[in-house]
Structure 1
Amino acid sequence: MSSHEFIPLTIDKSHIITIGERLYTESIEFVREIVNNAYDADATLVEILVGEDTIEIRDNGAGMDKDGLKQYFNIGSQQKLYSPKSPIYKRDRIGQFGIGKFATLSAGKRFEVITKSGDFVGRVTFDKEEWERSKDVWQLPLEILPPDFRNMDGTTVLLGGMTKKFDPKDIEVRIIEGTPLKAPHFRVRLNGHTITPRSLTGHRIPFLEGTSFGPVTGEIIILPETASSTKDLGIEIKVKQVTVRREFFGMETWGKAMSRIAGEVNADFLPITSDRTGFIKDSPEYAALQNVMERVMGNVKITLQRLAGKKEGMKVSRALKEALQKIYKALAANPDLSPFGAFPVGDETKGIGSAAMKKRETGQTIQTVQDADTVKTVQPKKKRKKKPKVKQLTPNAVIKRIKFGDIGVSVCVDSFGEDGPEVFSEETTIYINRDHPLYKRESSKVDTHVLNLARLITQEISLMKDPKNPRQAFERQSKLLRDAFIDKSN
């Protein structure tokens, strides 16, 4: 015959200390936890004072009465889940699990909580050594203080018996990332210094996406190359304005470009772990975030490539202009080397968007005089039109033109693939392939970039002079390059 009994569920007292000491991967996180408690209590100012052997954190929030203090030390209390909004500023409360207060035990042996709400002022002391000695006692000493002990409502947490020392700069970093500093009516001061949110400059890409769980908002910033950093890589994921962790969202394959991407994404519906350092990644909420960020980062990558192309285009434009100026000088000194015959006059202009193709005037009538009374008209033979190699240029094409009287040559630097020719010409337009491995190598430095462009352009101009005799063309090219880059006056 079976019987039924009950087994009591118990928790060892030492587990309270274990929770505090091992709740976070870094003990400095306890400061962030206390500041966020102040935010939940509608504080407008939090003061952090870091001393040699103490850390004091005081706020001007609502404070707690006697029942509030009891609730505060109720481990695992879900009161904030039942009251998710603060009473005065209607803030979304950050705390969820009711265990963060014990994180102070990871850095000190004792902490005091002094709080005032109306006429009630109380102090509760948690001493780790005393707690361990009184094995069967599950209560903390509460001291009722006179109403004038504290001037205004609010709470002070005083950590003593420090087992670790913290650099105020490290605390500031945690406050910037882990507290809602951008919220209205909320300010945090550290040793008299007001902590301000981090501000980044760059190309901003804001976004707002909807999911079945709630909105996903944020902003991605493409930093200037001079501001790129390998420190703190990834996008900050925030829940209720607090950074929980960073994620790459596929940027692992972007190489060095990843260091130029910063920003944040806000998704308050994400389920977080009890230590607030991660998410339940196999949840449908996190899957929804991943889907949104896949689209967002796809747009970011396109924008990054466009911005990189624009900057590269400016660099190419400057180098091409300098190369053409040098070539112009060399042709002016050697008019016999010009395929256009006349001494080069005029100036260099720039065209953008399509090749500056200049057709040969093959339709004109050529007249030859036989005698004084007879003029015979001879029509030139029509040449078969060649199929153009270039059908369409990319948006990043850089085009400049150098004029020789009424005739000139256009130079177009564009992408024609790594396996494409390094340079080629169609009529009076020279195309230079910026994807070619040799071009990429030489364009890394300004001087070699200009020299390489001049080499390619003079090569094509020399071949225009006499395409059937490449040997003489190369000799002409050599002379042009020499006069372009060597100052004879010196």
Structure 2
Amino acid sequence: KARLAESGPINAPDFEVLVNGEKIHPPRLSGHRIPFLEGTQFGLVHGEIVILPNSAASTSNLGIECKVRQVTIRRELFGMESWGRDVTRIRGEVHADFLPITSDRSGFITDSEEYKAFSEAMSRVMREVKSVLGQLSNKRENRITSRAVREALERIQKSLLAHPDLSPFGPIPVSNGQPAIGEGGVVTPTKGGHIESIAEKQKPVRKSGQKRRGKPKADLLTPNAVVRRVKIGSTGVICCLDHFGPEGTESFSEGNIIYINRDHPLYKAESNKRDAHILNLARLITQEICLMKNLRNSRKAFRQQSILLRDAFRD
């Protein structure tokens, strides 16, 4: 049936193919659809490309069906040989009724002007397909990265609440142990085991005419950057994961904004496994946090990083 669906014009009007009384329908593919219409001096090149989900990728029947008058002549890859695994996700069909075919109807006359114009049109189509495929892959990667950085920040926040003296983001709210409505705080025990009462500090009064300090914003290099913010102390930290090139630094900070390089070879190697990805993100974030606190004493900063990581991943 699959062979009959390819060799016959089953999509043509007023035409049907029946096998034992059962009508043959063209295969229906699910995925991201990219219809296209290109013009040449010999006629139109039109069709539809389907990007299959990863779960439906297959090595069988690779390529795009090239049809002349609704009949499949052959499948072509159109340069997808160098796409790696992504080629298994690309299916579709292209119609070009002006193409000259060989006498055995198994191929095209590739040195003809018609086929050259057809190839140029399909090159433009495949560039668009590759761009869309990259965007879809980035969305999936961003979802995974966003979940990993969220868990890493939650663990670091828990560790900083246990060690408020290691936080460079201002004082962490402290509780006097009494139940109340408001922001959560750390309970500070005394030597005798009793809760030490701490007077509430008055909020600084902003003078009239004084401008409100704006929130820091991360500078994004690409539209695929992943940005997460967590409130720690009076300000908090913004974590921005972006592409800075394989030769760029692994991580750096500006103010309370931490940038992590997603192109770094070590980051790419660790991002393949979820647990290793979270641990690597926590390592980089705590590294920058501790350097903010002790910029002149790197040994002390890394000692504090070890404490934060220990308590962040303590069950």
TM-score by length of 1: 0.54
CA distance in 2, matches of 1:438, 1:230: 31
Over 3 Å counting, the alpha-carbon distance change for 1:265 and 1:435 in structure 2 is same
Which deviations, in whole Å up to 9, do the C-alpha atoms of 1:278-312 show, x marking residues without a partner? 01111111011001001111111111111111111
The aligned residue for residue 220 of structure 1 is 49
How far 1:191 sits from its partner (Å)?
A: 3.7
Secondary structure, aligned partner of 1:407: coil
Instruction: Give the corresponding residue for 2:247.
Output: 419
Structure 1 unmatched ranges of 5 or more: 1-171, 348-363, 365-389
Offset, 1:343? 1.9
Shift of 1:185: 3.3
Matching residue of 1:104? none
1:265–1:344: structure 2 CA closer, same or farther, 3 Å change rule?
A: farther
Give the secondary structure class of the aligned counterpart of 1:411: strand
Matched, 1:305 2:134: yes
Structure 2 CA distance, aligned partners of 1:430 and 1:179? 60
2:3 match: secondary structure:
helix
Deviations 1:32-87 (A, max 9, x none): xxxxxxxxxxxxxxxxxxxxxxxxxxxxxxxxxxxxxxxxxxxxxxxxxxxxxxxx
Q: What SS does the aligned partner of 1:288 have?
A: helix
Number of the residue aligned with 2:208: none
Structure 1 residues 344, 442: closer, same or farther in 2, change over 3 A?
Answer: farther
**Correspondences of 1:75-114 after superposition (within 5 Å):** none
Are 2:238 and 1:406 aligned? no
Alignment of 1:482 with 2:275, yes or no, is no
Partner residue in 2 for 1:290: 119
**Aligned equivalents of 2:277 and 2:173: distance in 1?**
25
Of 26, 32, 46 in structure 2, the residue corresponding to residue 203 of structure 1 is: 32
| Displacement of 1:202 | 1.2
Aligned match of 1:61? none
Residue pairs, 1:20-169, within 5 angstroms: none
Cα separation, 2, equivalents of 1:203 and 1:317? 23
Residue aligned with 1:401, SS:
strand
CA RMSD of aligned residues (A): 2.0
Counterparts of 2:39 and 2:292, CA distance in 1:
60
1:188 aligns with 2:17: yes
Matched, 1:327 2:156: yes
SS of the residue aligned with 1:311? helix
8 Å contact from structure 2 (residues 251, 259) kept in 1? yes
Q: 1:391 to 1:317 in 2, by over 3 A?
A: closer
2:77 to 221, 224, 248: 248
* 1:338 positional shift: 1.0
Amino acid at match of 1:451: L
Name the CA distance, whole Å, in 1 between partners of 2:172 and 2:64. Answer: 59
Aligned with 1:425: secondary structure? Answer: strand
Structure 1 residue 329 displacement after superposition = 0.9
The answer to whether 1:470 aligns with 2:298 is yes
SS at match of 2:151: helix
Other-structure match for 1:178: 7
Aligned mates of 1:410, 1:260 — CA distance in 2: 36
Q: Distance in 2 between matches of 1:337 and 1:193?
A: 74
Same amino acid, percent of matched pairs: 61
Query: In the TM superposition, what is the alpha-carbon distance from 1:344 to its structure 2 partner?
Result: 5.9
**CA-CA distance at 1:192 after TM superposition:** 4.5
Match of 2:180 in 1: none
Q: Is the 8 A contact 2:246 2:263 kept in 1?
A: yes
Letter in 2 for 1:418: P
Residue deviations 1:145-167, cap 9 Å, x none?
A: xxxxxxxxxxxxxxxxxxxxxxx
2:109 aligns with 280
Q: 1:200 to 1:278 in 2, by over 3 A?
A: same
2:281 corresponds to which residue?
453
User: How far apart are the structure 2 equivalents of 1:236 and 1:335?
Assistant: 63
1:329-348 matches, cutoff 5 A = 329-343=158-172
Helix, strand or coil at the partner of 2:72: strand
Deviations 1:194-239 (A, max 9, x none): 3221111111111111111111111111111111111111111000
Shift of 1:473: 1.0
Structure 1 pair 340–179 and aligned structure 2 pair: CA distance change class (3 A)? same
| 1:229 partner amino acid | S
Residue type matched to 2:16 in 1? R
> Which amino acid in the other structure matches residue 277 of structure 1?
S
Tell me by how many angstroms 1:186 deviates. 3.0
- Partners in 1 of 2:43 and 2:295 — Cα distance? 68
Aligned partners of 2:145 and 2:226 also within 8 Å: yes
What SS does the corresponding residue of 1:187 show, helix, strand or coil? coil
Q: Which structure shows the higher strand fraction?
A: 1
Residue 433 in structure 1 maps to residue 261 in structure 2? yes
- How big is each residue's C-alpha offset from its partner over 1:164-197, in whole Å with a ceiling of 9 and x where there is no partner? xxxxxxxx12112221222333332334543221
Question: C-alpha separation between the residues in 2 aligned to 1:406 and 1:183?
Answer: 68
Letter matched to residue 334 of structure 1? H
Say if 2:93 is the partner of 1:261. no
Query: Unaligned 5+ residue runs, structure 2?
Result: 175-182, 185-203, 205-217
1:391–1:411 CA distance, 2 compared to 1 (3 A):
closer
